Chain A
Amino acid sequence: MFDIDKWQEIFATISKNKLRTFLTGFSVAWGIFMLILLLGSGKGMENSVHIQFDKRAKNAIFLYPGQTSKAYKGNKTGRQIQYTNEDLDYIKESTKGIEFSSGRYYISNNAIVAYKKEFAAMDLRAVHPEFIKIEKVDMTSGRFFNTFDLQQFNKVAVISKKAKESLFKNGEALGNYITVSGVPFQVIGVYIPDNERERDAKTLYMPISTAQRVFSGFNILHNISVTTGNATEEQSKAIHERLKNIMAKRHHYDPSDTQAMFSYSALEEYIQLLSLFAGIRLFIWIIGFGTIIAGIVGVSNIMVVVVRERTKEIGIRKAIGATPWSIISMILQESIFITSLAGYIGMVLGIGILEIVAKNVRTQFFVNPEADLSVAISATVLLILAGAVAGFIPARKAAAIKPIEALRDE
């Protein structure tokens, strides 16, 4: 039952022993504060990785042609491999488990794009419609081109919001024609580029079929990307291997020739990074746990000293009628109150600092640090319990001392 009188007695003692109270509370507050900062920092790093991976499908596999470094079946080394539309068609037809696919044809960087008297230099990227399922393109207005545009070789373009503002100022872009290296294209969509990558804002997307026809690209693809749907890591690895073998076979190079093709699986990389972050999380927990232990040891030490320091006071209280349990409960309640308040302060400060950092610091490697509130509360409760135990042991010992011995204490 809540005993206001007891609490008044406890507050009176606490308020008159500020330094002692501060020292007890500080180790708890510091422990929780550091744990939250550590957890938040770890989360901030992890978030940045997730954001990087969210920009593209996590199950994507990318294939880039290279130059052979091994002679193979009569072909000499140093042969440049070139992918074509047929490679992509073959992959789609022959490989089970492929969900989306797209080729890419890089026309030119810094191509001149104009609308009336406004000009801008843009990087031209010709892709398949399914590209939008592989790499994130956030449309703000209009649409991305579709299979119909691809089949009809439509001269349509998707530009960034920044490019729209540069070329059209406050005017409407959709439906209007821009010239791309002198060739008119109709703007059918506007996308929001990634904030961190300025290059993205310069990218103009167009159907690959149109680009190959208009810019003399024949049937060349500069890279091929596919996604593997709900494939597991193992299945994704198998598809990756199969794709490597298909391309080696189709282009007549040694499958073990690592220079003939560059490829990577986002899923494999993602899983590797996840395991790395699991390691980092474990590391942070070890440090955090160490901080908590240091906090517990700190509280225990201070409580031992506090009780030792109060031995005579305990003797006086016992001489005037305090029962051992009233002494123990007084010290325990004091200890729990101080650790709870300090834990709460440490938690609020930690979360507050993380909030400030989250609002003001955003880099490629550190985004939105946040602490799991349930973890923070659990750690605080753990410290409070530890504080209670830390207080209970010496308090019980002190309460068991004969009053006359306690009174003799100086």
Chain B
Amino acid sequence: MIRLNNLHKSYGIGSTSLHVLKGIDLHIGNGELVSIMGASGSGKSTLLNIVGILDTYDEGEFILDGKVIKHMNETQAALLRNQYIGFVFQSFNLISFKNAVENVALPLYYKKVSRKKRNIMALEYLDMMGLKDWANHLPSELSGGQKQRLAIARALISKPKIILADEPTGALDSTTSKEVMEIFKEINKTGITVIIVTHENEVAMSTNRIIRLRDGLIEHDNLTPEMLKQHHNVLLTTQSN
């Protein structure tokens, strides 16, 4: 589904250049539930944005479902995003003046689905997320967990092949985080590839494959929960000393 070969990305900051991704080689197959971990600045969000075609890369190769994603204009990128990818963000990124059903239905508007049909579908997805009673509420009237479930419903409604989640539990408490992760697992069971960027071990451990980035490179792929725990303990010991 996703193949990255020797991927490089730099950002220009003033006169200097920050080399964020320094040659990523990665393959994520169909229906995988993957988490990407790493310290701040390791490049995990940049990697997710490139995979989500929200950002471009400088060197290397990115192949999505057999298509080389390179030199793409914004219109082509938008169409691919709409076809393949659903996004879930830490800050939810809901449109504040649209109610729940309108927010969920919005991706279908860009897929030229009729208003009536997209509203019916939006209500179905809200129901799936347990938010049917909140359909006419604005995002500001919802709790953090509800907002994230709403964002997940929006990501799912266009039936994407991949869900990309950037710190989806970052703004949630532990109970709500677990609920959200359960939802991701359920989504993954339907065959959708789910890639979650997180810095939380609990979140990572509930995925099937853990990738750790360090300084723009993959430090570990297929990190087992035990290795993660061990690494976590080492970190805790280092911090307490």
The yes or no verdict on A and B being binding partners is: yes
A146 within 8 A of B: no
Are A317 and B106 closer than 8 Å at their CB atoms? yes
B114 within 8 A of A: yes
Are B78 and A318 closer than 8 Å at their CB atoms? yes
With a CB–CB cut-off of 8 A, which chain B residues contact A312?
Answer: 93
Interface residues of B in 102-136 (CB under 8 A from A): 102, 106-107, 109-111, 114-115
Interface digits, A1-20 against B, CB 8 Å rule (1 contact, 0 not)? 00001001100110011000
B82 within 8 A of A: yes
Asked whether A321 and B93 contact (CB < 8 A) given A5-B115, A12-B98, A400-B74, the answer is no
B89 within 8 A of A: yes
Are A326 and B74 closer than 8 Å at their CB atoms? no
Closest to B53 in A: A403
With a CB–CB cut-off of 8 A, which chain A residues contact B49?
Answer: 404
With a CB–CB cut-off of 8 A, which chain A residues contact B54?
Answer: 319, 402-404, 407
With a CB–CB cut-off of 8 A, which chain B residues contact A12?
Answer: 98, 102
Are B82 and A320 closer than 8 Å at their CB atoms? yes
Complex Cα gap A324–B114 (Å): 21
Smallest distance from the beta carbon of B141 to chain A beta carbons, Å? 14
Query: How many B residues face the partner with a CB closer than 8 A?
Result: 28
Asked whether A323 and B75 contact (CB < 8 A) given A5-B109, A9-B109, the answer is yes
Are B110 and A313 closer than 8 Å at their CB atoms? no
B87 within 8 A of A: yes
Asked whether A321 and B55 contact (CB < 8 A) given A12-B98, A13-B97, the answer is no
Smallest distance from the beta carbon of B170 to chain A beta carbons, Å? 15
Complex Cα gap A319–B115 (Å): 20
Complex Cα gap A112–B135 (Å): 90
Query: How many A residues face the partner with a CB closer than 8 A?
Result: 27
Are B97 and A16 closer than 8 Å at their CB atoms? yes
A376 within 8 A of B: no
With a CB–CB cut-off of 8 A, which chain B residues contact A16?
Answer: 97-98
Quick one: which of A320, A324, A400, A407 contacts B106, CB cutoff 8 A?
A320
Are B93 and A319 closer than 8 Å at their CB atoms? yes
With a CB–CB cut-off of 8 A, which chain B residues contact A5?
Answer: 109, 114-115
Asked whether A321 and B74 contact (CB < 8 A) given A16-B97, A326-B110, the answer is no
Asked whether A321 and B107 contact (CB < 8 A) given A12-B102, A407-B89, A407-B93, the answer is yes
A90 within 8 A of B: no
Are B74 and A320 closer than 8 Å at their CB atoms? no
Smallest distance from the beta carbon of A379 to chain B beta carbons, Å? 32
Are A320 and B97 closer than 8 Å at their CB atoms? no
Are B97 and A323 closer than 8 Å at their CB atoms? no
Complex Cα gap A318–B77 (Å): 9
B70 within 8 A of A: no
Quick one: which of B55, B102, B110, B114 contacts A320, CB cutoff 8 A?
B110
Smallest distance from the beta carbon of A53 to chain B beta carbons, Å? 59
Closest to B83 in A: A321
A325 within 8 A of B: yes
With a CB–CB cut-off of 8 A, which chain B residues contact A17?
Answer: 97
Are B95 and A321 closer than 8 Å at their CB atoms? no
Smallest distance from the beta carbon of A376 to chain B beta carbons, Å? 34
Smallest distance from the beta carbon of B133 to chain A beta carbons, Å? 21
B158 within 8 A of A: yes
With a CB–CB cut-off of 8 A, which chain B residues contact A51?
Answer: none
Interface residues of A in 10-32 (CB under 8 A from B): 12-13, 16-17
With a CB–CB cut-off of 8 A, which chain A residues contact B74?
Answer: 318, 323-324, 399-400
Closest to A399 in B: B74
With a CB–CB cut-off of 8 A, which chain A residues contact B115?
Answer: 5, 8
Are A313 and B95 closer than 8 Å at their CB atoms? yes
Complex Cα gap A315–B98 (Å): 15
B234 within 8 A of A: no
B22 within 8 A of A: no
A345 within 8 A of B: no
Closest to A403 in B: B54
With a CB–CB cut-off of 8 A, which chain B residues contact A402?
Answer: 54-56
Can you add 15 more A-B contacts, CB < 8 Å, to A5-B114, A320-B107, A321-B110?
Answer: A5-B109, A8-B115, A12-B102, A312-B93, A316-B93, A317-B110, A318-B81, A320-B82, A321-B78, A321-B79, A323-B75, A326-B110, A402-B55, A402-B56, A403-B54
B interface, CB within 8 angstroms of A: 49, 52, 54-56, 74-75, 78-79, 81-82, 87, 89, 93-95, 97-98, 102, 106-107, 109-111, 114-115, 154, 158
The 6 lowest CB-CB distance pairs between A and B, nearest first, are: A321-B82, A321-B110, A16-B97, A404-B54, A320-B107, A323-B78
Can you list 6 A-B pairs, Cβ within 8 angstroms, ordered by A? A317-B95, A319-B93, A320-B158, A322-B110, A323-B75, A402-B54
